[in-house]
């Protein structure tokens, strides 16, 4: 069984000047790149998810949902931030394609070939995930909670996540909830040691 890195939604619309910009999201990109480099060096799989919505979806305010329009598939806003250094072997999964579902969790995401994320993880023999990205209080949290529910060991890379914080403590609360559900909070130095063991 293997460890893998999961990079959640580091897309233009969630970064500075994006349609749904998360405060200071850009500041975690260099840290995420360090994690990518570490996992790449150890030949461990890297997965990157993206929010990938149709133009009209009940996820958007204009159609009765909670959010401004963001990450519309095949637009600049939905592209990964250009400073994110994904490797050529990174497996990209997309979620939010269903126009009647919010799909915050990466376990509602699929590869371009239509393979569900859970099946991809089984195919790669993954039993432990290291999760970073945007946003702590939405897609990171939903993905972490689902991963724990499916029996994965889950680590949250707390130096490489950022929260929307509609309420100022949403990010803190989300981390609490993830930890109480069984996730372990880690930072780069510790992960480096774990991966090297
Ligand atoms: Zn979305």
pLDDT, residue 86, reads: 97
Q: Which of 15, 71, 132, 139 is catalytic?
A: 139
pLDDT at position 197 is 75
Cα-to-centroid distance, 153 and ligand 1 (Å): 26
Closest by CA to 110, choosing from 99, 121, 102, 100, is 121
CB atoms within 10 A of CB 44: 17
Model-wide pTM > 0.75 = yes
Ligand 1 centroid–CA 59 distance in Å is 7
The answer to the question of residue 83 being in a domain is yes
| pLDDT classification of 1: cutoffs 50, 70, 90 | confident
Residue corresponding to tokens 């990157």: 48
For residue 104, report the distance from its CA to the centre of ligand 1, in Å: 7
Kindly report the CATH number assigned to the domain that includes residue 53: 3.40.50.850
pLDDT tens for 119-167 read 999 999 999 999 999 999 999 999 999 999 999 999 999 999 999 999 9
- Residues spanned by the domain of 12: 6-196
Catalytic: 119? no
Ligand 1 geometric centre to CA of 160 (Å): 20
pLDDT of 56-71, one tens digit each?
999 999 999 999 999 9
Which listed residue (15, 51, 71, 95) is catalytic? 95
Q: What is the pLDDT of residues 23-38, one digit of tens each?
A: 999 999 999 999 999 9
Told to judge if 62 belongs to the known catalytic residues of this protein, a careful annotator would answer no
Question: Which residues partner with 130 through β-bridges?
Answer: 5, 155
Average pLDDT of the chain? 97
1 domain residue, yes or no: no
Residue 95 annotated as catalytic: yes
Residue 40 lies in a domain: yes
SS3 per residue for the chain: CEEEEEEECCEHHHCCCCCCCCCCHHHHHHHHHHHHHHHHHCCCCEEEEEECECCCCCCEHHHCCCECCCCECCCHHHCECCCCCCCCCCEEEEECCCCCCCCCCHHHCECCCCCEHHHHHHHCCEEEEEEEEECHHHHHHHHHHHHHHCCCEEEEEEEEEECCCCCCCHHHHHHHHHHHCCCEEECHHHHHHHHHC
Q: How many domains, in total, are found in the chain? A: 1
């Amino acid at each position: 069984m293997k460890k893998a890195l999961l990079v959640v939604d580091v897309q233009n619309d969630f970064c500075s000047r994006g349609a749904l910009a998360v405060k200071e999201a850009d500041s975690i990109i260099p840290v995420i790149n360090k994690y990518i480099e570490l996992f790449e060096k150890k030949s461990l799989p890297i997965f990157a998810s993206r929010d990938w919505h149709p133009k009209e979806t009940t996820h958007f305010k204009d159609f009765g949902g909670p959010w401004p329009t963001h990450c519309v598939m095949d637009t600049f806003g939905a592209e990964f931030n250009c400073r994110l250094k994904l490797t050529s072997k990174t497996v990209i999964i997309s979620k939010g394609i269903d126009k009647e579902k919010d799909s915050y969790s990466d376990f509602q995401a699929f590869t371009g070939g239509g393979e569900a994320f859970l099946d991809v993880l089984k195919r790669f023999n993954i039993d432990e995930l290291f999760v970073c990205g945007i946003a702590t209080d939405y897609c990171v949290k939903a993905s972490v909670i689902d991963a724990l529910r499916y029996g994965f060991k889950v680590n949250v890379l707390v130096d490489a996540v950022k929260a929307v914080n509609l309420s100022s403590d949403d990010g803190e609360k989300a981390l609490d909830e993830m930890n109480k559900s069984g996730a372990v909070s880690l930072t780069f130095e510790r992960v480096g040691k774990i991966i090297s063991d």
